[in-house]
Structure 1
Amino acid sequence: MVIAIVVSIFLVSFGEVVLPKTYGHLHKLMNGIDFTEVLMGAMLNFLLFAGGIHINIDDLKEQFRPVLIFSTVGVVISTFVVGFGMFYILPFLGIHLPFIYCLLFGALISPTDPVAVLSILKQANVSKGLETKVAGESLFNDGMAVVVFTVVLQLALGDKVELGVENIGLLLLKEAGGGLLLGIVLGWITSRLMREVDDYIISVLVTLSVVMGGYLIARQMHISGPLTMVAAGLFMGNFNVKFKMKSITQDYLIKFWELIDEILNAVLFLFIGFELLMIKDLNHFVVPGLVAIVIVLLARVISIWGPTKFMKKTFSPQTVKVLVWGGIRGGVSIALAMSIPKNEYSETILSITYCVVVFSIIVQGLTIAKVANPKKIAIEEEEQESITLNNID
């Protein structure tokens, strides 16, 4: 992604003079790509399935409460903190964004990107419990974020939306609940098929059919495709362990999805880098982008630190620090920003979103391993447990 950004900056600065044909072709290519459809409709489904298939369901059960709270309540808190922060600070920079669009930015920037998080956590060497918290939150918060984003976008566009708790609850139930249920059904059916025919070629083809066919079904039913893929991946990854699969079948299946994960990650981050070519006058939004980075990080602190105070299990300061710094934004935020219909505010939101995402992936992504000090976390967690037990006694 860094290489793509450097090339993009060079082309934007000197391309029309030095390499006019290359600049023209690349600009035309990026203009012709529907990034929202490519990411949300294709790449994300493969990446989420690959992420879900490698998560242990028992580890997820142990961390169910924090994962659920962070991926629902945390998203809502972050949305409003970012929305209010941008609304009151941007006017000092000469940018007047209506409150509803500030809230819209808060909704699209609040979900952490499972693609970026999962790929970086592999190298961070954090404890299994902490990895499950961060990965679980990023896998499941898309459903909540899409519902919030959809409601706010309809309000911003002037569409009539009933904001009652019942209507929003039904929307969330249909979007998230329907996606999870469909994923479990697909996972169960295909797992049974794989059990009957224990062959590595058929197993790979079956998992591919789940991802591609499952997305089309979810899209037709107007439910969450990403959550369908997460649920299907989780179910298949854990159900298949219960029966004795041939070692060659299991080996091929795991290696195939690891390869798909690596290839699509590389393509995705390359796309994010070259998206710079699509933004006009990005230099005008550098300062607002830096301000947005601070606001988004502050919102992340509040949305993580606040809920932990109401949980039974005590979180050590180091764990909270990793959860905050590990909340990496990525392609999902850019895809949502690009799905906003073109108007006088869409370019501003996209430019600021790009600044936040680039900072998040490069700075947070490259330093999370240093922030995540496994020994320090273990010592602090032991101290917190001993304090808790003493209080109970």
Structure 2
Amino acid sequence: MIHHVEVQVLVLLLVAAFVGMGARRFRLPYTLALVVAGLGLGFLDLGVLSDVELNADLLLLLLLPALLFEAAFHIDFAEFRRNLGTIFTLAVPGVLVAGGLTAVLLYFGLGRTGLVADFGWREALLFASVLAATDPVSVLALFRQLGVPKRLYLIVEGESLLNDGVAVVIFVIVTTVYGLGGAHGAEMPESLTAYSLQTFLRMGGGGILIGVALGGGFSVLTRQVDDHLIETTLSAVLAYGSFLIAEQLHCSGVLSTVFAGIVAGSYGARVGMSHATRIAVVDFWEFAAFIANSFIFLLVGLELEPVELLRGAVAIIVAFIATVLARGTYVYTAIPLVSRLTTPLPRSWRHVLVWGGLRGSLSMVLILTLPPSFPGRGMLVTLVFGVVGLSLFVQGLSMAPLLRKLGLLVSEDRHHEYDRARATMIMSRYALDELAELESHGLIEAGVAIRLRGYYESLTREAEQKARDLVANIDLSAQTAEALERLIAAERVGLRAAQHAELLDDETAEALSIELSKRLALLDERPGGTEAELAEVLGPDPGNTLDPE
């Protein structure tokens, strides 16, 4: 017997598939196309979808862990750690400061002006807390499609992973303070400051520790088995188990899942998974994230009420401007300051960080958790849904032109034949490594190994020759810049080692460290620069060793 829910799932999957096909054909952002499709389904008023809604249990317990784990599993931990200062600045104090500024702007812009009736500090703080987290899924998809600098992609993705957890903690604190059903076992606090600090540390720090511990346990466990089905199953247990265990212990399930994914992807996949297993796990989570994103953005479209949004259009626009202004104020102030302590960011990236801070489904779900008896609930739901919709369409659709204007689309100048030859070389070498491992374990006969080795070695030589033939017509400055970034980072490690071994004094080490930071900053300003610009980054070249001729 077919049940109503099964039909709803099948309809949504079918719509998602057709929307994906159309978005690919017409080169449209997939997530935005899903929202439009959701709006269309709402206008059609299909009976089978009449009771479908985006609720907290669906998002937080089923869809969100899949998205968080898939993104965290792919994080390059070395790069994440290298940019942790910038990511932390955006994700923790950035959420707190931008949220506070948003609340102030809204209190005066909507409340004191009388634009929205009964809009006080309580409503301003609730609105700011639910919109504190960025959700740049569509922007990240666009980044992958157009090819922005990898470091910029990592910073935007890393911030979005961490600030989801921070936003949930802030929302718990605000709702508890105003007696609106605080979560995680919270009761009305006697001391606001003490309660806020205690909750922040318990939920944030506890979630991180739980995620790291479970991710480490997963890594140890996968070393004991070599079966892609079992290890994929264990990764699903880790993703959802880390979330549920942390929530049960009144900690942040979001941060727990994120750090479990980072440990599993950066350590567990490297030490406990074969190449075949890693591919299977990655494919599984790519599919899971695709399904989760499809459901979320279709449901966002279904939840949007055009008539209600039009009635509150002026207030929604004011609220949208307030959120962008608050984020812009923080980014343009904090990033130059943190750049003095970490690897500096190019000026153009600040514009992307401000405009790429889209709001998404988490904000909508958090506002829906307010009790129905709360008198300002309907007004806040309309405001939040309107700002999310405006953010998705205005910021999402204008991001590509902004990236082109700033000159950050490194992939548009790629030469596909050369890239294909290089990729073939890398693929063949990985295959040869796997073949050597199979042979060393006696899993393949010597005659078969010789035959396959000959094939892949021939493929490698052919690809190498093709790359050499094409390289004369290729601008290698972007590739050189990427390699230089890694080499300068290696120089920094060497500098720390020399300082630790007391081979140079602190003053000299500080001077060399500043020099390296300046070279990295100059390199970031020229991610695909000319040979002359790269020579400026490197400094004098006595032997003419970098002359392309």
1:323 correspondence with 2:350: no
The question of whether the paired residues in 2 share the 8 Å contact of 1:125 and 1:369 is answered with no
Query: Which residue, out of 167, 171, 177, partners 2:199?
Result: 171
Tell me the TM-score normalized by structure 1.
Answer: 0.87
1:107 correspondence with 2:129: yes
Aligned pair in 2 of structure 1 residues 124, 154: CA closer, same or farther (>3 Å)?
Answer: farther
For residues 146-183 of structure 1, the C-alpha deviation after alignment (integer angstroms, 9 at most, x for no partner) is 22211211223377334554432221111011111111
Bigger fraction of residues in helix: 1
Query: Distance in 1 between the 2:66 and 2:109 partners?
Result: 39
Give aligned-pair identity as a percent. Answer: 29
The residue number in structure 1 matching 2:223 is: 195
The one-letter amino acid of 2:234's match is: V
The one-letter amino acid of 1:72's match is: V
The one-letter amino acid of 2:107's match is: F
The question of whether the paired residues in 1 share the 8 Å contact of 2:38 and 2:301 is answered with yes
The residue number in structure 2 matching 1:267 is: 295
The question of whether the paired residues in 2 share the 8 Å contact of 1:180 and 1:227 is answered with yes
1:231 correspondence with 2:231: no
1:305 correspondence with 2:332: yes
The residue number in structure 1 matching 2:393 is: 362
1:250 correspondence with 2:270: no
Secondary structure of 1:231 counterpart? helix
The residue number in structure 1 matching 2:166 is: 144
Secondary structure of 1:29 counterpart? coil
Query: Distance in 1 between the 2:345 and 2:240 partners?
Result: 39
Secondary structure of 1:282 counterpart? helix
| Residue 214 of structure 1: how far off its partner (Å) | 2.1
Cα RMSD after superposing both structures: 2.6
Secondary structure of 1:309 counterpart? helix
Query: Which residue, out of 344, 350, 367, partners 1:337?
Result: 367
The one-letter amino acid of 1:356's match is: V
Query: Which residue, out of 52, 57, 80, partners 2:72?
Result: 52
Note the 1:53-72 alignment, pairs <5 A: 53-72=73-92
Query: Which residue, out of 305, 322, 330, partners 1:295?
Result: 322
Structure number with greater CO (CA < 8 Å, separation at least 6) is 1
Query: Distance in 2 between the 1:353 and 1:327 partners?
Result: 15
Query: Distance in 2 between the 1:364 and 1:239 partners?
Result: 35
The residue number in structure 2 matching 1:39 is: 59
| Residue 365 of structure 1: how far off its partner (Å) | 2.0
Query: Distance in 2 between the 1:354 and 1:280 partners?
Result: 12
The one-letter amino acid of 2:172's match is: T
The question of whether the paired residues in 1 share the 8 Å contact of 2:219 and 2:269 is answered with no
| Residue 249 of structure 1: how far off its partner (Å) | 1.2
The one-letter amino acid of 1:237's match is: G
Query: Which residue, out of 51, 74, 94, partners 1:28?
Result: 51
Secondary structure of 1:93 counterpart? coil
Query: Which residue, out of 79, 99, 102, partners 1:79?
Result: 99
Query: Which residue, out of 212, 215, 219, partners 2:243?
Result: 215
Query: Distance in 2 between the 1:196 and 1:169 partners?
Result: 41
Aligned pair in 2 of structure 1 residues 111, 44: CA closer, same or farther (>3 Å)?
Answer: same
Query: Distance in 2 between the 1:221 and 1:114 partners?
Result: 29
Query: Distance in 2 between the 1:169 and 1:118 partners?
Result: 32
The residue number in structure 2 matching 1:372 is: 403
The one-letter amino acid of 2:90's match is: F
Secondary structure of 1:77 counterpart? helix
Query: Distance in 2 between the 1:191 and 1:365 partners?
Result: 37
The one-letter amino acid of 2:64's match is: L
Secondary structure of 1:372 counterpart? helix
Aligned pair in 2 of structure 1 residues 280, 38: CA closer, same or farther (>3 Å)?
Answer: farther
Query: Distance in 1 between the 2:215 and 2:260 partners?
Result: 4
Secondary structure of 2:148 counterpart? coil
Secondary structure of 1:248 counterpart? helix
The question of whether the paired residues in 2 share the 8 Å contact of 1:75 and 1:303 is answered with no
For residues 94-145 of structure 1, the C-alpha deviation after alignment (integer angstroms, 9 at most, x for no partner) is 4331112111101111211264554444334221211111111110012221
The one-letter amino acid of 1:85's match is: L
Secondary structure of 2:52 counterpart? helix
The residue number in structure 2 matching 1:205 is: 233
1:285 correspondence with 2:312: yes
The question of whether the paired residues in 1 share the 8 Å contact of 2:136 and 2:356 is answered with no
Query: Distance in 1 between the 2:99 and 2:313 partners?
Result: 22
The residue number in structure 2 matching 1:160 is: 188
Moved more, 363-372 or 290-299: 363-372
Secondary structure of 2:130 counterpart? helix
The question of whether the paired residues in 1 share the 8 Å contact of 2:100 and 2:125 is answered with yes
Consecutive unaligned residues in structure 1, runs of 5 or more: 16-21
The question of whether the paired residues in 2 share the 8 Å contact of 1:179 and 1:225 is answered with yes
The question of whether the paired residues in 2 share the 8 Å contact of 1:117 and 1:135 is answered with no
Secondary structure of 2:223 counterpart? helix
Query: Distance in 1 between the 2:287 and 2:381 partners?
Result: 31
Larger Rg belongs to: 2
Aligned pair in 2 of structure 1 residues 370, 198: CA closer, same or farther (>3 Å)?
Answer: farther
Aligned pair in 2 of structure 1 residues 70, 171: CA closer, same or farther (>3 Å)?
Answer: same
Question: For this pair of structures, how many residues does the alignment match?
Answer: 373
Query: Which residue, out of 109, 112, 130, partners 1:89?
Result: 109
Consecutive unaligned residues in structure 2, runs of 5 or more: 1-34, 181-186, 410-477, 482-519, 527-535, 538-549
The question of whether the paired residues in 2 share the 8 Å contact of 1:86 and 1:292 is answered with yes
The residue number in structure 2 matching 1:18 is: none
Tell me the TM-score normalized by structure 2.
Answer: 0.63
The residue number in structure 2 matching 1:19 is: none
The one-letter amino acid of 2:320's match is: I
| Residue 241 of structure 1: how far off its partner (Å) | 4.5
Aligned pair in 2 of structure 1 residues 146, 56: CA closer, same or farther (>3 Å)?
Answer: same
For residues 353-376 of structure 1, the C-alpha deviation after alignment (integer angstroms, 9 at most, x for no partner) is 111111222222233233234745
| Residue 308 of structure 1: how far off its partner (Å) | 1.4
